[in-house]
Amino acid sequence: MLSIIQTALLLGCIYSLVALALFLSYRILDIADLTTDGCFVLGMAVSVSTAAAGHPFLGIVLGMLAGGCAGFVTAFLQTRMGVPSILAGIVTNTGLYTINLMAMGWSSNVSLLKQETIFTIFRETGIGGSWYQIILAGIVAAVCMLAMRWFLTTRLGLSIRATGDNRDMVSASSINPRFTITVGLIIANCLTGLSGAIAGQMQKSADINAGTSIVVIGLACLIIGETVIQGRKSIGRNILACLVGNVIYRLIYAIVLQTRIIPIECLKLMTAVIVALAIAAPSLKQSLSDYNRERREA
Amino acid sequence: MLELQNLTKTFNPGTVNEKTALDGLNLTVNDGDFITIVGSNGAGKSTLFNAVAGVFLVDSGRIMLDDQNITFTPEYKRSKYIGRLFQDPLKGTAPHMTIEENLALAFLRAGETKPFSRITRKDREKFRDELKRLDMGLEDRMNTAVGTLSGGQRQALTLLMATIVPPRLLLLDEHTAALDPKAAEKIMALTNEIIERNHTTCLMVTHNLHQAISTGNRTLMMSDGDIILDLKDDQRKGLTIEDLMRKFREGAGEALDDDRILLSD
Protein backbone atom coordinates (compact mmCIF):
# COMPACT_ATOMS: atom_id res chain seq x y z
CA MET A 1 0.00 0.00 0.00
CA LEU A 2 2.80 2.39 0.88
CA SER A 3 4.36 1.84 -2.50
CA ILE A 4 1.05 2.60 -4.21
CA ILE A 5 0.79 5.89 -2.33
CA GLN A 6 4.40 6.73 -3.06
CA THR A 7 3.93 6.06 -6.75
CA ALA A 8 0.75 8.10 -6.83
CA LEU A 9 2.43 11.03 -5.08
CA LEU A 10 5.46 10.88 -7.34
CA LEU A 11 3.52 10.68 -10.60
CA GLY A 12 0.98 13.17 -9.24
CA CYS A 13 3.69 15.74 -8.60
CA ILE A 14 5.34 15.25 -11.98
CA TYR A 15 2.17 15.21 -14.06
CA SER A 16 0.57 18.04 -12.08
CA LEU A 17 2.72 20.35 -14.21
CA VAL A 18 0.72 19.24 -17.26
CA ALA A 19 -2.49 20.03 -15.39
CA LEU A 20 -1.02 23.39 -14.40
CA ALA A 21 -0.23 24.04 -18.08
CA LEU A 22 -3.81 23.16 -19.02
CA PHE A 23 -5.09 25.34 -16.21
CA LEU A 24 -3.31 28.26 -17.87
CA SER A 25 -4.26 27.45 -21.48
CA TYR A 26 -7.70 25.90 -21.03
CA ARG A 27 -9.11 27.52 -17.92
CA ILE A 28 -7.43 30.93 -18.00
CA LEU A 29 -6.96 31.58 -21.73
CA ASP A 30 -9.94 29.44 -22.80
CA ILE A 31 -7.89 27.71 -25.50
CA ALA A 32 -7.85 23.92 -25.90
CA ASP A 33 -4.14 23.51 -26.56
CA LEU A 34 -3.64 20.21 -28.35
CA THR A 35 0.11 20.79 -28.62
CA THR A 36 0.29 19.18 -25.18
CA ASP A 37 0.71 15.52 -26.26
CA GLY A 38 3.63 16.12 -28.59
CA CYS A 39 5.09 18.78 -26.34
CA PHE A 40 5.28 16.36 -23.42
CA VAL A 41 7.23 13.86 -25.52
CA LEU A 42 9.44 16.67 -26.82
CA GLY A 43 10.44 17.63 -23.29
CA MET A 44 11.03 13.99 -22.47
CA ALA A 45 13.07 13.25 -25.61
CA VAL A 46 15.27 16.32 -25.23
CA SER A 47 15.80 15.69 -21.54
CA VAL A 48 16.68 12.00 -21.85
CA SER A 49 18.91 12.50 -24.90
CA THR A 50 20.79 15.28 -23.12
CA ALA A 51 21.08 13.19 -19.96
CA ALA A 52 22.37 10.30 -22.07
CA ALA A 53 25.11 12.67 -23.22
CA GLY A 54 25.95 13.30 -19.55
CA HIS A 55 24.10 16.55 -18.76
CA PRO A 56 21.00 15.78 -16.69
CA PHE A 57 20.39 19.31 -15.37
CA LEU A 58 20.90 20.86 -18.79
CA GLY A 59 18.46 18.23 -20.08
CA ILE A 60 15.71 19.47 -17.77
CA VAL A 61 16.27 23.09 -18.79
CA LEU A 62 16.45 22.27 -22.50
CA GLY A 63 13.37 20.05 -22.30
CA MET A 64 11.45 22.90 -20.77
CA LEU A 65 12.68 25.45 -23.32
CA ALA A 66 11.92 23.07 -26.20
CA GLY A 67 8.36 22.85 -24.89
CA GLY A 68 8.19 26.63 -24.87
CA CYS A 69 9.29 26.71 -28.52
CA ALA A 70 6.48 24.30 -29.44
CA GLY A 71 4.06 26.61 -27.64
CA PHE A 72 5.40 29.55 -29.60
CA VAL A 73 4.80 27.75 -32.90
CA THR A 74 1.18 27.02 -31.95
CA ALA A 75 0.66 30.60 -30.78
CA PHE A 76 2.26 31.98 -33.94
CA LEU A 77 0.00 29.89 -36.19
CA GLN A 78 -2.99 31.02 -34.18
CA THR A 79 -2.34 34.73 -33.66
CA ARG A 80 -0.42 35.65 -36.82
CA MET A 81 -1.45 33.11 -39.46
CA GLY A 82 -5.15 32.95 -38.67
CA VAL A 83 -5.18 29.18 -38.05
CA PRO A 84 -8.08 28.26 -35.72
CA SER A 85 -6.74 27.55 -32.23
CA ILE A 86 -7.56 23.83 -32.04
CA LEU A 87 -6.18 23.20 -35.52
CA ALA A 88 -3.01 25.16 -34.70
CA GLY A 89 -2.32 22.75 -31.83
CA ILE A 90 -3.00 19.70 -33.98
CA VAL A 91 -0.72 20.96 -36.75
CA THR A 92 2.13 21.61 -34.30
CA ASN A 93 1.51 18.26 -32.64
CA THR A 94 1.78 16.45 -35.99
CA GLY A 95 5.01 18.23 -36.82
CA LEU A 96 6.40 17.45 -33.40
CA TYR A 97 6.27 13.71 -34.10
CA THR A 98 9.16 14.11 -36.54
CA ILE A 99 10.97 16.57 -34.27
CA ASN A 100 10.66 14.13 -31.38
CA LEU A 101 12.10 11.26 -33.41
CA MET A 102 14.93 13.57 -34.39
CA ALA A 103 15.55 14.54 -30.76
CA MET A 104 15.96 10.84 -29.93
CA GLY A 105 18.46 10.32 -32.78
CA TRP A 106 15.83 9.01 -35.24
CA SER A 107 14.83 6.21 -32.94
CA SER A 108 11.44 5.64 -31.32
CA ASN A 109 12.92 5.34 -27.84
CA VAL A 110 16.01 6.16 -25.80
CA SER A 111 17.03 4.65 -22.48
CA LEU A 112 19.41 5.75 -19.79
CA LEU A 113 21.46 2.88 -18.48
CA LYS A 114 24.25 3.95 -16.16
CA GLN A 115 24.05 7.65 -16.83
CA GLU A 116 23.19 10.05 -14.06
CA THR A 117 19.78 11.68 -13.83
CA ILE A 118 18.65 14.50 -11.55
CA PHE A 119 17.10 11.80 -9.39
CA THR A 120 20.28 9.73 -8.96
CA ILE A 121 22.22 12.90 -8.17
CA PHE A 122 19.63 13.92 -5.59
CA ARG A 123 19.65 10.43 -4.03
CA GLU A 124 23.36 10.77 -3.35
CA THR A 125 22.68 13.76 -1.10
CA GLY A 126 20.82 11.32 1.16
CA ILE A 127 17.85 13.61 1.71
CA GLY A 128 14.50 11.94 2.23
CA GLY A 129 15.59 8.30 2.22
CA SER A 130 13.18 6.24 0.10
CA TRP A 131 11.04 9.36 -0.47
CA TYR A 132 13.81 11.16 -2.35
CA GLN A 133 12.05 11.06 -5.72
CA ILE A 134 8.83 12.47 -4.29
CA ILE A 135 10.68 15.22 -2.46
CA LEU A 136 12.52 16.31 -5.59
CA ALA A 137 9.41 16.21 -7.80
CA GLY A 138 7.40 17.88 -5.05
CA ILE A 139 9.86 20.76 -4.77
CA VAL A 140 9.71 21.36 -8.52
CA ALA A 141 5.89 21.22 -8.52
CA ALA A 142 5.66 23.55 -5.52
CA VAL A 143 8.03 26.09 -7.06
CA CYS A 144 6.08 26.07 -10.35
CA MET A 145 2.76 26.47 -8.55
CA LEU A 146 3.93 29.32 -6.34
CA ALA A 147 5.48 31.00 -9.37
CA MET A 148 2.19 30.63 -11.25
CA ARG A 149 0.24 32.03 -8.30
CA TRP A 150 2.55 35.04 -8.22
CA PHE A 151 2.63 35.49 -11.98
CA LEU A 152 -1.16 35.67 -12.30
CA THR A 153 -1.26 38.77 -10.08
CA THR A 154 1.33 40.70 -12.08
CA ARG A 155 0.37 43.12 -14.83
CA LEU A 156 1.16 40.53 -17.52
CA GLY A 157 -0.66 37.77 -15.64
CA LEU A 158 -3.75 39.89 -15.09
CA SER A 159 -3.71 40.82 -18.78
CA ILE A 160 -3.58 37.15 -19.77
CA ARG A 161 -6.50 36.41 -17.45
CA ALA A 162 -8.55 39.27 -18.88
CA THR A 163 -7.80 38.04 -22.42
CA GLY A 164 -9.39 34.69 -21.63
CA ASP A 165 -12.19 36.10 -19.49
CA ASN A 166 -13.65 38.84 -21.68
CA ARG A 167 -12.45 39.32 -25.26
CA ASP A 168 -14.62 42.45 -25.52
CA MET A 169 -12.68 44.38 -22.90
CA VAL A 170 -9.24 43.44 -24.21
CA SER A 171 -8.54 46.03 -26.87
CA ALA A 172 -10.19 48.85 -24.90
CA SER A 173 -7.88 47.95 -22.00
CA SER A 174 -4.70 48.40 -24.07
CA ILE A 175 -4.08 44.64 -24.07
CA ASN A 176 -2.62 43.14 -27.24
CA PRO A 177 -4.29 39.70 -27.40
CA ARG A 178 -1.65 38.39 -29.83
CA PHE A 179 0.99 39.04 -27.22
CA THR A 180 -0.92 37.73 -24.20
CA ILE A 181 -1.99 34.53 -26.01
CA THR A 182 1.57 33.94 -27.19
CA VAL A 183 3.07 34.44 -23.73
CA GLY A 184 0.37 32.25 -22.17
CA LEU A 185 0.91 29.36 -24.58
CA ILE A 186 4.70 29.56 -24.26
CA ILE A 187 4.50 29.37 -20.46
CA ALA A 188 1.94 26.55 -20.59
CA ASN A 189 4.08 24.49 -22.95
CA CYS A 190 7.24 25.19 -20.93
CA LEU A 191 5.44 23.53 -18.03
CA THR A 192 4.36 20.60 -20.19
CA GLY A 193 7.91 20.23 -21.51
CA LEU A 194 9.27 20.39 -17.96
CA SER A 195 6.85 17.68 -16.90
CA GLY A 196 8.00 15.45 -19.77
CA ALA A 197 11.65 16.24 -19.00
CA ILE A 198 11.31 15.15 -15.37
CA ALA A 199 9.15 12.12 -16.20
CA GLY A 200 11.76 10.95 -18.72
CA GLN A 201 14.64 11.10 -16.24
CA MET A 202 12.50 9.50 -13.54
CA GLN A 203 11.67 6.46 -15.67
CA LYS A 204 15.10 6.60 -17.35
CA SER A 205 13.65 6.39 -20.82
CA ALA A 206 11.80 8.32 -23.47
CA ASP A 207 9.30 6.86 -25.88
CA ILE A 208 7.69 8.40 -28.93
CA ASN A 209 4.23 7.38 -27.71
CA ALA A 210 4.65 8.48 -24.09
CA GLY A 211 2.47 11.54 -24.60
CA THR A 212 -0.60 9.89 -26.06
CA SER A 213 -3.76 11.37 -24.49
CA ILE A 214 -1.76 13.32 -21.90
CA VAL A 215 -4.01 16.28 -22.65
CA VAL A 216 -7.19 14.37 -21.77
CA ILE A 217 -5.66 12.92 -18.61
CA GLY A 218 -4.48 16.39 -17.65
CA LEU A 219 -7.99 17.76 -18.08
CA ALA A 220 -9.43 14.86 -16.08
CA CYS A 221 -7.03 15.66 -13.23
CA LEU A 222 -7.90 19.34 -13.41
CA ILE A 223 -11.62 18.56 -13.20
CA ILE A 224 -11.21 15.98 -10.41
CA GLY A 225 -9.19 18.52 -8.43
CA GLU A 226 -11.72 21.29 -8.93
CA THR A 227 -14.52 18.98 -7.82
CA VAL A 228 -12.69 17.78 -4.72
CA ILE A 229 -11.56 21.21 -3.56
CA GLN A 230 -14.74 22.87 -2.42
CA GLY A 231 -15.40 26.44 -1.42
CA ARG A 232 -14.96 29.80 -3.04
CA LYS A 233 -13.00 29.63 -6.27
CA SER A 234 -9.72 31.45 -6.14
CA ILE A 235 -6.53 31.26 -8.16
CA GLY A 236 -4.67 29.61 -5.28
CA ARG A 237 -7.30 26.91 -4.85
CA ASN A 238 -7.48 26.24 -8.57
CA ILE A 239 -3.72 25.83 -8.75
CA LEU A 240 -3.75 23.46 -5.79
CA ALA A 241 -6.53 21.54 -7.56
CA CYS A 242 -4.05 20.64 -10.32
CA LEU A 243 -1.90 18.77 -7.81
CA VAL A 244 -4.70 17.23 -5.75
CA GLY A 245 -6.56 16.03 -8.86
CA ASN A 246 -3.42 14.46 -10.22
CA VAL A 247 -2.57 12.58 -7.05
CA ILE A 248 -6.14 11.23 -6.89
CA TYR A 249 -6.07 10.19 -10.53
CA ARG A 250 -2.73 8.43 -10.10
CA LEU A 251 -4.00 6.73 -6.93
CA ILE A 252 -7.01 5.39 -8.82
CA TYR A 253 -4.71 4.36 -11.65
CA ALA A 254 -2.33 2.54 -9.29
CA ILE A 255 -5.18 0.76 -7.49
CA VAL A 256 -6.70 -0.35 -10.78
CA LEU A 257 -3.28 -1.52 -11.90
CA GLN A 258 -2.72 -3.56 -8.73
CA THR A 259 -6.17 -4.98 -8.11
CA ARG A 260 -7.31 -5.26 -11.73
CA ILE A 261 -10.88 -4.23 -10.83
CA ILE A 262 -11.11 -2.93 -14.38
CA PRO A 263 -8.84 -4.29 -17.08
CA ILE A 264 -5.97 -1.82 -17.41
CA GLU A 265 -6.58 -1.65 -21.17
CA CYS A 266 -9.91 0.07 -20.41
CA LEU A 267 -8.43 2.91 -18.38
CA LYS A 268 -8.09 5.29 -21.32
CA LEU A 269 -11.74 4.78 -22.20
CA MET A 270 -12.68 5.42 -18.60
CA THR A 271 -10.60 8.59 -18.54
CA ALA A 272 -12.25 9.79 -21.74
CA VAL A 273 -15.71 9.12 -20.31
CA ILE A 274 -14.88 10.95 -17.07
CA VAL A 275 -13.63 14.00 -18.97
CA ALA A 276 -16.55 14.04 -21.41
CA LEU A 277 -19.08 13.74 -18.57
CA ALA A 278 -17.37 16.34 -16.42
CA ILE A 279 -17.22 18.88 -19.24
CA ALA A 280 -20.80 18.06 -20.24
CA ALA A 281 -22.09 18.27 -16.66
CA PRO A 282 -23.43 21.87 -16.76
CA SER A 283 -25.43 21.35 -19.97
CA LEU A 284 -26.63 17.92 -18.82
CA LYS A 285 -27.86 19.49 -15.58
CA GLN A 286 -29.67 22.18 -17.54
CA SER A 287 -31.39 19.73 -19.90
CA LEU A 288 -32.42 17.57 -16.99
CA SER A 289 -33.94 20.46 -15.06
CA ASP A 290 -35.75 21.69 -18.21
CA TYR A 291 -37.09 18.18 -18.79
CA ASN A 292 -38.26 17.85 -15.17
CA ARG A 293 -39.96 21.25 -15.27
CA GLU A 294 -41.74 20.39 -18.48
CA ARG A 295 -43.00 17.11 -17.00
CA ARG A 296 -44.08 18.81 -13.79
CA GLU A 297 -45.97 21.59 -15.49
CA ALA A 298 -47.49 19.50 -18.26
CA MET B 1 -6.11 68.54 -28.15
CA LEU B 2 -7.72 66.15 -30.63
CA GLU B 3 -7.75 67.08 -34.29
CA LEU B 4 -9.65 65.12 -36.92
CA GLN B 5 -8.75 66.20 -40.44
CA ASN B 6 -10.92 65.22 -43.38
CA LEU B 7 -11.74 61.71 -42.12
CA THR B 8 -13.48 59.35 -44.53
CA LYS B 9 -14.54 55.77 -44.07
CA THR B 10 -16.62 53.63 -46.41
CA PHE B 11 -17.81 50.18 -45.44
CA ASN B 12 -18.23 47.41 -48.04
CA PRO B 13 -16.92 49.56 -50.92
CA GLY B 14 -18.01 48.49 -54.39
CA THR B 15 -20.92 46.36 -53.18
CA VAL B 16 -24.66 46.98 -52.88
CA ASN B 17 -24.10 47.42 -49.16
CA GLU B 18 -21.67 50.29 -49.69
CA LYS B 19 -22.07 52.78 -46.87
CA THR B 20 -20.18 56.02 -46.42
CA ALA B 21 -20.03 56.27 -42.64
CA LEU B 22 -17.62 59.19 -42.41
CA ASP B 23 -17.64 61.74 -45.21
CA GLY B 24 -14.75 64.18 -44.93
CA LEU B 25 -15.29 64.94 -41.27
CA ASN B 26 -13.31 67.73 -39.59
CA LEU B 27 -13.29 68.41 -35.88
CA THR B 28 -11.05 70.13 -33.37
CA VAL B 29 -11.56 69.20 -29.73
CA ASN B 30 -9.89 71.54 -27.25
CA ASP B 31 -8.39 70.36 -23.98
CA GLY B 32 -11.06 70.17 -21.31
CA ASP B 33 -13.95 70.10 -23.80
CA PHE B 34 -16.89 67.92 -22.79
CA ILE B 35 -18.77 67.38 -26.02
CA THR B 36 -22.14 65.69 -26.42
CA ILE B 37 -23.00 64.16 -29.80
CA VAL B 38 -26.48 63.47 -31.17
CA GLY B 39 -27.65 62.37 -34.60
CA SER B 40 -29.94 60.15 -36.64
CA ASN B 41 -29.60 56.41 -36.97
CA GLY B 42 -26.53 55.60 -39.02
CA ALA B 43 -25.22 59.16 -38.87
CA GLY B 44 -21.74 57.86 -38.08
CA LYS B 45 -21.51 58.58 -34.35
CA SER B 46 -20.17 55.17 -33.37
CA THR B 47 -18.03 55.04 -36.52
CA LEU B 48 -16.46 58.32 -35.46
CA PHE B 49 -15.61 56.84 -32.04
CA ASN B 50 -14.27 53.65 -33.58
CA ALA B 51 -12.08 55.67 -35.93
CA VAL B 52 -10.65 57.72 -33.06
CA ALA B 53 -10.16 54.61 -30.92
CA GLY B 54 -8.49 52.75 -33.79
CA VAL B 55 -10.91 49.84 -34.17
CA PHE B 56 -10.24 50.24 -37.90
CA LEU B 57 -8.01 52.52 -39.98
CA VAL B 58 -9.76 55.38 -41.76
CA ASP B 59 -9.68 55.39 -45.58
CA SER B 60 -8.19 58.87 -45.66
CA GLY B 61 -7.56 61.81 -43.36
CA ARG B 62 -5.47 62.35 -40.27
CA ILE B 63 -6.05 61.91 -36.54
CA MET B 64 -3.85 64.03 -34.29
CA LEU B 65 -3.88 63.73 -30.50
CA ASP B 66 -1.78 66.33 -28.67
CA ASP B 67 0.20 67.01 -31.86
CA GLN B 68 1.02 63.36 -32.26
CA ASN B 69 -0.16 61.61 -35.42
CA ILE B 70 -2.05 58.49 -34.32
CA THR B 71 -3.75 57.72 -37.65
CA PHE B 72 -1.94 54.39 -37.94
CA THR B 73 -1.41 53.60 -34.27
CA PRO B 74 -2.97 50.21 -33.37
CA GLU B 75 -6.04 50.16 -31.17
CA TYR B 76 -4.40 48.54 -28.15
CA LYS B 77 -1.71 51.22 -28.08
CA ARG B 78 -4.20 54.06 -28.37
CA SER B 79 -6.28 52.70 -25.52
CA LYS B 80 -3.39 53.37 -23.18
CA TYR B 81 -4.39 57.05 -23.32
CA ILE B 82 -7.92 56.92 -24.76
CA GLY B 83 -10.52 55.59 -22.31
CA ARG B 84 -13.72 54.04 -23.65
CA LEU B 85 -17.10 53.05 -22.26
CA PHE B 86 -19.69 51.17 -24.26
CA GLN B 87 -23.44 50.83 -23.99
CA ASP B 88 -23.14 47.22 -22.86
CA PRO B 89 -21.98 47.25 -19.21
CA LEU B 90 -20.58 43.72 -19.64
CA LYS B 91 -18.00 44.85 -22.20
CA GLY B 92 -15.62 46.69 -19.92
CA THR B 93 -14.88 44.29 -17.07
CA ALA B 94 -13.66 40.70 -16.60
CA PRO B 95 -16.48 38.78 -14.87
CA HIS B 96 -14.41 36.02 -13.23
CA MET B 97 -11.84 38.42 -11.82
CA THR B 98 -12.45 40.31 -8.59
CA ILE B 99 -13.15 44.04 -8.32
CA GLU B 100 -9.65 44.56 -7.02
CA GLU B 101 -8.07 42.55 -9.85
CA ASN B 102 -10.04 44.47 -12.47
CA LEU B 103 -8.92 47.77 -10.99
CA ALA B 104 -5.36 46.49 -10.67
CA LEU B 105 -5.35 45.55 -14.34
CA ALA B 106 -6.62 48.98 -15.41
CA PHE B 107 -4.29 50.80 -13.04
CA LEU B 108 -1.18 48.85 -13.99
CA ARG B 109 -1.85 49.01 -17.73
CA ALA B 110 -2.51 52.73 -17.87
CA GLY B 111 0.43 53.71 -15.67
CA GLU B 112 4.15 53.53 -16.31
CA THR B 113 4.71 49.98 -15.11
CA LYS B 114 6.69 46.90 -16.15
CA PRO B 115 5.18 43.53 -17.13
CA PHE B 116 5.83 42.02 -13.71
CA SER B 117 4.62 45.00 -11.70
CA ARG B 118 2.03 44.28 -9.02
CA ILE B 119 -0.16 46.57 -7.02
CA THR B 120 1.09 47.74 -3.64
CA ARG B 121 -0.72 48.17 -0.35
CA LYS B 122 -0.87 51.89 -1.12
CA ASP B 123 -2.53 51.24 -4.48
CA ARG B 124 -5.09 49.05 -2.76
CA GLU B 125 -5.93 51.88 -0.37
CA LYS B 126 -6.30 54.18 -3.36
CA PHE B 127 -8.72 51.71 -4.98
CA ARG B 128 -10.73 51.56 -1.79
CA ASP B 129 -10.98 55.37 -1.62
CA GLU B 130 -12.00 55.60 -5.26
CA LEU B 131 -14.63 52.88 -4.82
CA LYS B 132 -15.99 54.70 -1.78
CA ARG B 133 -16.62 57.75 -3.98
CA LEU B 134 -18.97 55.64 -6.12
CA ASP B 135 -21.13 55.26 -3.01
CA MET B 136 -22.27 51.74 -3.92
CA GLY B 137 -20.64 49.83 -1.10
CA LEU B 138 -18.17 48.24 -3.53
CA GLU B 139 -15.22 49.18 -1.30
CA ASP B 140 -16.24 46.38 1.07
CA ARG B 141 -16.54 43.83 -1.73
CA MET B 142 -13.15 44.15 -3.34
CA ASN B 143 -12.63 40.39 -3.41
CA THR B 144 -15.98 39.71 -5.07
CA ALA B 145 -16.06 38.48 -8.67
CA VAL B 146 -17.29 41.26 -10.95
CA GLY B 147 -19.76 38.90 -12.65
CA THR B 148 -21.97 39.05 -9.53
CA LEU B 149 -22.47 42.83 -9.75
CA SER B 150 -25.49 44.57 -11.30
CA GLY B 151 -25.27 46.34 -14.65
CA GLY B 152 -25.11 49.75 -13.00
CA GLN B 153 -22.38 48.64 -10.61
CA ARG B 154 -20.38 47.12 -13.46
CA GLN B 155 -20.68 50.28 -15.53
CA ALA B 156 -19.59 52.37 -12.53
CA LEU B 157 -16.58 50.09 -12.13
CA THR B 158 -15.81 50.36 -15.85
CA LEU B 159 -15.96 54.15 -15.53
CA LEU B 160 -13.57 54.01 -12.61
CA MET B 161 -11.24 51.65 -14.51
CA ALA B 162 -11.20 53.97 -17.52
CA THR B 163 -10.37 57.00 -15.39
CA ILE B 164 -8.32 55.68 -12.45
CA VAL B 165 -5.32 56.94 -14.38
CA PRO B 166 -6.90 59.98 -16.09
CA PRO B 167 -6.89 59.36 -19.86
CA ARG B 168 -6.05 62.10 -22.36
CA LEU B 169 -9.41 61.50 -24.02
CA LEU B 170 -12.55 59.75 -22.83
CA LEU B 171 -15.08 58.31 -25.29
CA LEU B 172 -18.54 57.52 -23.90
CA ASP B 173 -20.75 55.67 -26.38
CA GLU B 174 -24.27 55.84 -24.88
CA HIS B 175 -22.81 54.42 -21.72
CA THR B 176 -26.01 54.84 -19.70
CA ALA B 177 -28.46 53.66 -22.38
CA ALA B 178 -28.68 50.04 -21.26
CA LEU B 179 -29.21 50.86 -17.58
CA ASP B 180 -32.43 51.41 -15.67
CA PRO B 181 -33.32 55.11 -15.18
CA LYS B 182 -32.05 55.29 -11.61
CA ALA B 183 -28.74 53.62 -12.38
CA ALA B 184 -28.39 55.75 -15.52
CA GLU B 185 -28.83 58.91 -13.48
CA LYS B 186 -26.27 57.72 -10.96
CA ILE B 187 -23.69 56.83 -13.61
CA MET B 188 -24.23 60.18 -15.33
CA ALA B 189 -23.69 62.05 -12.05
CA LEU B 190 -20.49 60.08 -11.44
CA THR B 191 -19.35 60.77 -14.98
CA ASN B 192 -19.84 64.50 -14.53
CA GLU B 193 -18.06 64.46 -11.20
CA ILE B 194 -15.04 62.52 -12.46
CA ILE B 195 -14.70 64.59 -15.63
CA GLU B 196 -14.93 67.81 -13.67
CA ARG B 197 -12.39 66.67 -11.10
CA ASN B 198 -9.80 65.59 -13.67
CA HIS B 199 -10.66 68.17 -16.37
CA THR B 200 -10.83 65.22 -18.76
CA THR B 201 -11.42 65.90 -22.44
CA CYS B 202 -14.51 63.89 -23.27
CA LEU B 203 -16.81 62.99 -26.16
CA MET B 204 -20.21 61.49 -25.32
CA VAL B 205 -22.78 60.03 -27.72
CA THR B 206 -26.29 60.20 -26.32
CA HIS B 207 -29.83 59.77 -27.57
CA ASN B 208 -31.18 61.82 -24.71
CA LEU B 209 -31.61 65.34 -26.12
CA HIS B 210 -32.12 66.88 -22.71
CA GLN B 211 -28.83 65.35 -21.59
CA ALA B 212 -27.21 66.54 -24.81
CA ILE B 213 -27.86 70.21 -24.13
CA SER B 214 -27.53 70.14 -20.35
CA THR B 215 -24.27 68.22 -20.11
CA GLY B 216 -20.80 69.42 -21.04
CA ASN B 217 -19.88 72.63 -22.84
CA ARG B 218 -20.44 71.78 -26.49
CA THR B 219 -22.96 69.85 -28.61
CA LEU B 220 -22.39 68.30 -32.04
CA MET B 221 -25.08 67.03 -34.36
CA MET B 222 -24.20 64.45 -36.97
CA SER B 223 -25.91 63.41 -40.17
CA ASP B 224 -24.68 61.27 -43.07
CA GLY B 225 -21.14 60.94 -41.80
CA ASP B 226 -20.49 64.59 -41.14
CA ILE B 227 -20.99 67.19 -38.44
CA ILE B 228 -23.83 69.52 -39.41
CA LEU B 229 -24.06 71.56 -36.28
CA ASP B 230 -21.51 72.59 -33.66
CA LEU B 231 -22.93 74.55 -30.73
CA LYS B 232 -20.49 76.00 -28.19
CA ASP B 233 -20.90 77.51 -24.73
CA ASP B 234 -23.10 80.61 -25.18
CA GLN B 235 -24.78 79.25 -28.32
CA ARG B 236 -26.21 76.49 -26.17
CA LYS B 237 -27.52 78.81 -23.47
CA GLY B 238 -31.31 78.90 -23.27
CA LEU B 239 -31.51 76.34 -26.05
CA THR B 240 -34.60 74.10 -25.89
CA ILE B 241 -35.04 70.65 -27.31
CA GLU B 242 -37.41 72.13 -29.90
CA ASP B 243 -34.69 74.57 -31.00
CA LEU B 244 -32.31 71.66 -31.34
CA MET B 245 -34.77 69.66 -33.47
CA ARG B 246 -35.42 72.70 -35.68
CA LYS B 247 -31.72 73.41 -36.11
CA PHE B 248 -31.15 69.80 -37.05
CA ARG B 249 -33.93 69.93 -39.67
CA GLU B 250 -32.41 73.07 -41.16
CA GLY B 251 -28.94 71.59 -41.24
CA ALA B 252 -29.71 68.08 -42.43
CA GLY B 253 -32.72 68.82 -44.64
CA GLU B 254 -34.69 66.17 -42.79
CA ALA B 255 -36.12 65.54 -39.36
CA LEU B 256 -33.96 64.07 -36.62
CA ASP B 257 -34.72 60.40 -36.92
CA ASP B 258 -33.45 58.23 -34.14
CA ASP B 259 -35.81 55.50 -33.12
CA ARG B 260 -34.51 55.57 -29.59
CA ILE B 261 -34.39 59.30 -29.13
CA LEU B 262 -35.62 60.68 -25.84
CA LEU B 263 -37.19 64.12 -25.99
CA SER B 264 -37.43 64.66 -22.29
CA ASP B 265 -35.80 63.29 -19.24
Position B260 scores a pLDDT of 64
Q: Do A171 and B75 touch (CB under 8 A)?
A: yes
Quote the mean pLDDT of chain A.
92
The C-alpha atoms of residue B145 and residue B95 are separated, in whole angstroms, by 6
Least confident of A34-38, A230-234, B180-184: A230-234
CB-based contact (8 Å) between B147 and chain A? no
- Judged by CB atoms closer than 8 Å, whether chains meet at B96 and A171 is answered as no
- The CA distance from B128 to A67, in Å, is 42
Which burial class, exposed, middle or buried, applies to B260 when counting CB atoms under 10 A from its CB (0-12, 13-18, 19+)? Answer: exposed
Nearest CA in chain A to B113: A155
Domain with CATH 3.40.50.300 in chain B: 2-81+169-263
Structural domain boundaries in chain A: 2-209
Question: Could you tell me where the DSSP H helices lie in chain B?
Answer: 45-53, 75-78, 99-110, 121-134, 151-163, 181-198, 209-214, 233-236, 241-252
pLDDT at A295 > cutoff 60: yes
**Residues 6 or more apart from B140 whose CB is under 8 A from it?**
none
**Best of B56, B75, B96 to disrupt the A interface by mutation (most A CBs within 10 Å)?**
B96
CA distance B130 to B127: 5
Q: Count CB atoms within 10 A of the CB of residue A277.
A: 11
Residue B265 has pLDDT above 60, yes or no: no
3-state secondary structure A220-264: HHHHHHHHHCCCCCCHHHHHHHHHHHHHHHHHHHHHHHHHCCCCH
Report yes or no: B172 at the A interface, CB cutoff 8 Å. no
Q: What percent of chain A has pLDDT over 90?
A: 70
Question: Which positions in chain B touch A170 (Cβ < 8 Å)?
Answer: 76
From B161, which residue of chain A is nearest by alpha-carbon distance?
A173
Chain B hits for A180, CB-CB cut-off 8 Å, are: none
Is there a contact between A169 and B93 if contact means CB atoms under 8 Å apart? yes
- pLDDT at position A267 is 77
Whether B264 shows a pLDDT value over 60: the answer reads no
Give the pLDDT score at B4. Answer: 95
B168 touching chain A per CB within 8 A: no
- Is 70 exceeded by the pLDDT of residue B257? no
Average pLDDT on B61-86 reads: 93
> Is the confidence at residue A195, as pLDDT, over 90?
yes
Specify the pLDDT at position B259: 61
Q: What is the pLDDT of residue A188?
A: 98
Residues of A in contact with B77 (CB under 8 A): 174
Contact A166 B91 (CB under 8 A): yes
Q: Is B121 helix (H, G, I), strand (E, B) or coil?
A: helix
B109 and A CB contact within 8 Å: yes
Interface contact flag, B118 A153, Cβ < 8 Å: yes
Of A153, A165, A175, the CB nearest to B109: A175
Percent of chain B predicted with pLDDT > 70: 97
- Which of B70, B98, B109, B168 best probes binding to A when mutated, by most A CB atoms within 10 angstroms? B109
Average pLDDT rounded to a whole number, residues B67-86: 93
What does the pLDDT average to over B65-92? 93
DSSP A24: I
Q: Domain B2-81+169-263 belongs to what architecture?
A: 3-Layer(aba) Sandwich (3.40)
Which residue would you say has higher pLDDT here, B186 or A270? Answer: B186
Yes or no, beta carbons of A165 and B96 under 8 Å apart: yes
Count chain A–chain B contacts defined by CB atoms under 8 A: 79
| pLDDT at residue B91 greater than cutoff 70 | yes
Q: How many Å lie between the alpha carbon of A178 and the closest alpha carbon of chain B? A: 11
Q: Could you tell me the CA-to-CA distances from B122 to A111, B126, B128, B129 in Å, in that order? A: 55, 6, 10, 11
Q: Assess: ipTM above 0.85.
A: yes
What is the model's pLDDT at position B251?
Answer: 78
A149-177 mean pLDDT = 92
Quote the pTM value.
0.90
Per-residue pLDDT at A206 exceeds 80: yes
Of A163, A153, A150, A145, the C-alpha closest to A245 is A145
- CA B102 – CA B126 distance, rounded (Å): 14
Mean pLDDT for the stretch of residues A22-49: 96
Are B79 and A174 within 8 A, CB to CB? yes
**Residue A172 and residue B109: Cβ atoms within 8 Å?**
no
Q: State the average pLDDT over residues B224-238.
A: 86
